[in-house]
A and B are shown apart, each in its own frame.
Chain A
Amino acid sequence: MNPNDVLAALPLGVLTAVTMTMLLLDLFGLCTSRLLWGLSACFLAWVFSCTQFYISEVGFSGLVFVDGYTTVLSTLILAGTALSLLLSHKYLGLQRAQTSIDVDVLILLAAAGGLVMVAAAHLIVIFIGFELLSVCVYVLTGIARKERASAEGALKYFLLGAFSSAFLLYGMALVYGATGTMFIEEIGQVGGPDNVLLLIGIGLLIFGFGFKVSLVPFHLWTPDVYQGAPVSVTTFMAVVVKTAAFGTFLRLMYVAFGGMTEWWEGLIWTLCVLTMTVGNLAALRQSSVKRMLAYSSIAHAGYALMGFLALGPAGGAEATVFYLLAYGLMTVASFGVVLVATAGSDAQYGNDDISSLSGLGFSHPFLGVVMTVSMLSLAGMPPLAGFMGKLYLFSAAINSGFVGLAVIAALNSVVSLYYYLRVLVVMYFSGERTLSWAPPRGLEWAPKASLGLVTVGTVFFGLFSYLCYPAIEVAIKSLG
């Protein structure tokens, strides 16, 4: 075993070892503080993944990358996992979901799948990470199994997820057939654009990843699944699954197919415009808060995709990674408020009409502030993180000559302002000062900490984005 293998294995090994220990201790009734165990697993895995930051090599005979990109994406995944664990603490019971240790274990194992994916340097490893993540999340979606909505969401997610991974696999098979190798760096060296098999393979891979990050037209599952799943699981899906899939997708396009951008640029451009526009227009006419946020997350996937068109010196890859950070922060905040505000009521599965938030700003001032910051950031208001993220993306797109795309994205941002501000209007100006239904119990410290952290983060990374941008630049440099 050479030192790189150890560095690559440590974060994953620690995360899975702690998770397995939790399961074992729970068997004897000894795992008393699941939250503490889960958080320390995330923290330890993060510490070990930091050791790879300044390296740019491969481990396990070329199967995984040991580089800064892995570190940065692992940081996002683990932070998202920790925040989801904090949010689900004590709240799963209120969501009529299973409260046993399975939930925490599945969340941690899904995070391990995400870590495998973003480090993968070989098609088999990408596939294994992808499925480890997906299978855990299928189960998590249906974890409130007495709820019709949860069961329906799980069924839809499972069937469409398995369908899309078949496409991903067939894409991998065709790429292998065209290039004779499964190492993504070698694919980049061997592959030429005159190869029809390779082009079809790339198309199918984009289909598979497009499903996971919910690009239009592969987005049809997203609103139903986001609405049907317990809100703490929805948060995890919207943040961690999307970050891991986007991170892997970006690495694949950059390393394996970065030399033939002119052959897939048109496809990505179309997907990008469709995703932004359809996501925003559909969000306009939603009455359910969860569905509205689901369509908004589709629209944001469209923005993040803009970076794929400006790889290299234009700075698109950096902008996409920064956008994933900003998107994660604001999404945890918005779904977190919905979770806390609807917990224990019928509003959490289906009846979460936007008017159920009326008066929230006065009855729960803390939640009001968190929601306000998150909505303004999602709408792209300066000086919040969402604004800086869009600024980087738009300027990257303009740098590489996609002015039209930047204009379409800016128009979309204006449209999105309407439905984000509607939430604020309902919260503060509906004339009500109390919630219309029985308010949830006093706020637990764990979700409060989670919501506070992401709100501070949204403001901080908006004002001081230049503090974290160099780290992202190191990461993208390590891609080669």
Chain B
Amino acid sequence: MEVTQFYLVLGAVLFTLGTLGVLIRRNTIVIFMCIELMLNSVNLTMVALSRQFGEVSGQVFVFFVMAVAAAEAAVGLAIIMTAFRNYHSVRTTDVHDLAG
């Protein structure tokens, strides 16, 4: 029981770090890395819970999260590239025409 709690706390800490990173950093690549950190903290939480309950659905979920994260990375990096070609920067403060 105690061991699971440690993993849950670690997951929550990692998730918070990722969230703070997304909110604070201005480089889109770093923001994207922080999002991946958040997804991995979810994975850790899922695996710990799955182990605790002695059933596999949490672990199956992790496989899907990893597959989706890979697909998102492919699309996301392509989008960041497109933005770079148009703005010659990947900083959120530079990619900022639309407002009102």
Contacts and interface: CB of A to CB of B under 8 A. Distances in A.
Question: Are chains A and B native binding partners rather than an unrelated pairing?
Answer: yes
A176 B35 contact: no
Given A127-B61, A138-B79, 20 more contacts: A127-B65, A131-B72, A135-B72, A138-B76, A149-B97, A151-B83, A152-B83, A152-B96, A152-B98, A154-B83, A155-B79, A159-B22, A162-B35, A166-B15, A170-B41, A173-B42, A176-B46, A182-B58, A224-B99, A350-B97
Given A131-B71, A155-B83, A182-B61, A291 B32 contact: no
A9 to B, nearest CB: 18
Interface of A: 123-124, 127-128, 131, 135, 138-139, 142, 145-149, 151-155, 158-159, 162-163, 166, 169-170, 172-174, 176-177, 180-182, 223-224, 227-228, 286-288, 291, 350
B46 to A, nearest CB: 5
Interface residues of B, number: 44
B41 to A, nearest CB: 7
Nearest to A179: B53
A379 B24 CA distance: 39
B80 A166 contact: no
Contacts of B13: none
Contacts of A291: 100
26 contacts: A123-B61, A139-B75, A142-B79, A146-B86, A147-B86, A148-B86, A149-B97, A151-B85, A154-B79, A155-B82, A159-B22, A159-B35, A162-B32, A162-B35, A163-B35, A166-B18, A166-B35, A170-B38, A172-B42, A173-B49, A176-B57, A177-B8, A177-B49, A182-B57, A223-B98, A228-B98
- Secondary structure at the A interface, as helix, strand, loop or mixed, is helix
B49 A176 contact: yes
A158 B73 CA distance: 10
B100 A159 contact: no
B40 to A, nearest CB: 10
Contacts of B38: 163, 166, 170
Contacts, number: 126
A71 to B, nearest CB: 26
A159 B68 contact: no
Nearest to B55: A180
A146 B65 CA distance: 32
Given A155-B83, A158-B75, A166-B35, A131 B68 contact: yes
Contacts of B100: 223, 286-288, 291
Contact of A138 (B39, B45, B75, B95): B75
B6 interface: no
Contact of B79 (A158, A180, A287): A158
B41 A162 contact: no
Nearest to A128: B64
A288 B85 CA distance: 26
Contact of B87 (A145, A151, A159, A180): A151
For the complex of A and B, the 4 pairs showing the least CB-CB separation, nearest first, are A166-B38, A224-B98, A173-B45, A169-B42
B85 A153 contact: no
